[in-house]
Amino acid sequence: MSEGFAESKRKGRIEVHLRGSRVGKDLHLAIFGGDRPHIGAVAMSYPHPGLKIPDRFEVTTSVLTVTGHKEDLLARHAAHRIAGATGCTTSVSCGIHVDQITRQEIRTVQRLVDRLVDDLVTRLQAG
């Protein structure tokens, strides 16, 4: 592995981290945080020629989720967005647990993860 990257975002009591590295031309990422970071879901996205329009790329994403965990949508969105923006096969593991989280804090987690992903895409596209 080479070219590692790390970034964190915080709002109030919510802190989320993104750590990752290149594996050849592919990307391997972990998004975690809260009171008890863990692995709740893993998503893998890969770009490929379109099935209907071969000169247009599509992205296919697969997700595995630990029973009872809810990080699948975060992992899926992050992997899909990054693979589509970079053309790289991308894996994302995600696990964020915040004790007694509120609905507003769930939205905060989603926004922080989106910002981390957007920042990473911008950095990767810039070279």
The answer to whether residue 1 scores a pLDDT higher than 60 is no
**How far apart are alpha carbons 41 and 93 in whole angstroms?**
6
Q: Render pLDDT for 18-30 as a digit per residue (tens, 0 to 9).
A: 999 999 999 999 9
Residues with Cβ within 8 Å of residue 55, at least 6 apart in sequence:
49
Q: What is the pTM of this model?
A: 0.93
**Domain-wise residue ranges, the chain:** 2-126
pLDDT in tens, 66-81: 999 999 999 999 999 9
Q: How far apart are CA 120 and CA 22, in angstroms?
A: 12
CATH among 3.40.80.10, 3.30.930.10, 3.30.230.100, 2.130.10.10 for 2-126: 3.30.230.100
Give me the residues paired with residue 100 across strands. Answer: none
Q: How far apart are the first and last CA of the chain?
A: 17
